[in-house]
Amino acid sequence: MAKFPTSRVDKLLSSMGYGSRREIAQMAKAGGITLDAADLLDVTKRIPITPDLPTRMKIDGEALDPVAGMAILLNKPLGMTCSHKEEGALVYDILPDRWRWRNPAISTIGRLDKQTSGLLVLTDDGDLLHRVISPKRHVKKTYRAKLARPLNGSEADQFASGLLMLEGENKPLAPAELDIISETEVLLSVTEGRYHQVRRMFAATGNHVEELHRESLGGLSLPDGLAPGQWKLLSGEEIASIFQ
Ligand code: URA
């Protein structure tokens, strides 16, 4: 049988944002914690942290949240910021409130601008985060962009050249792929994640991005049924598809 790490119940639940250890002890005393349908009263007990714990442990009658090592797919709405600190609406506000206190913390894998919508993955798995953003992996990100002006015809070659330099930078962009949908709408696939990259690429061609939406990350796409502001947990297979 696979060996899983163990943790005291109070430590585990407080690292998942359910409250302080004292609050968790009180919750248990009031019959609010069950494991395999039996009241769990001794929160100093060590239990194995198995991935199926959320199907076996209930807190106030509700399934336990996912244990550490999760990845979330969010259809990011316009107007929300990918930051823990900034003022205004943050993408983290969409997730359950107690997840703010999780340790390890949940972070976005890369960022989308406030005025960019679409596929955003969040995780508490630092290893996964680094694998996705590592320049060595060349994970492809595909964006749908609506442009203020018609294409001039040279963009696909410029972007594919590996020579395009963004303003204020001294290293050219890696080749990127442009699929033209109409003269003012494109799909652009890039393998880097430079600051405001897509908007700056079109600015370098004398155009302006009016709407920007991320459709896919590697082999992972936004499912049709996931409306803006909705999220779902990713399975191991879906996480692996990012690298396909
Ligand atoms: N490029 C941008 O300009 N903005 C984003 O949000 C993502 C890529």
- pLDDT by residue (tens digit) across 97-151? 999 999 999 999 999 999 999 999 999 999 999 999 999 999 999 999 999 999 9
Reading phi first (left if > 0) and then psi (alpha if -120 to 50, else beta), residue 243 is in alpha
Q: Kindly report the average pLDDT of the chain as a whole number.
A: 97
Coil vs helix vs strand at 128: helix
Q: How many angstroms is it from 233 CA to the middle of ligand 1? A: 24
- The Cα-based distances of 224 to 38, 59, 111, 175, 235 in angstroms read 40, 32, 22, 29, 17
pLDDT for res 1:
56
212 Cβ inside 6 Å of ligand 1: yes
Question: Per-residue pLDDT for 205 more than 90?
Answer: yes
Domains and their CATH numbers in the chain? 6-63 (3.10.290.10), 71-134+227-241 (3.30.70.580), 141-217 (3.30.70.1560)
211 Cβ inside 6 Å of ligand 1: no
Question: In sequence order, what are the beta bridge partners of 182?
Answer: 185
Q: How confident is the model at residue 3 (pLDDT cuts 50, 70, 90)?
A: confident
Most ligand 1 atoms within 8 A of CB, residue of 114, 141, 143 to mutate:
143
Nearest CA to ligand 1 atom 4: 196
Question: In sequence order, what are the beta bridge partners of 74?
Answer: 120, 231
Section 183-188 average pLDDT: 98
Q: How confident is the model at residue 89 (pLDDT cuts 50, 70, 90)?
A: very high
Catalytic site positions: 113
- pLDDT by residue (tens digit) across 71-88? 999 999 999 999 999 999
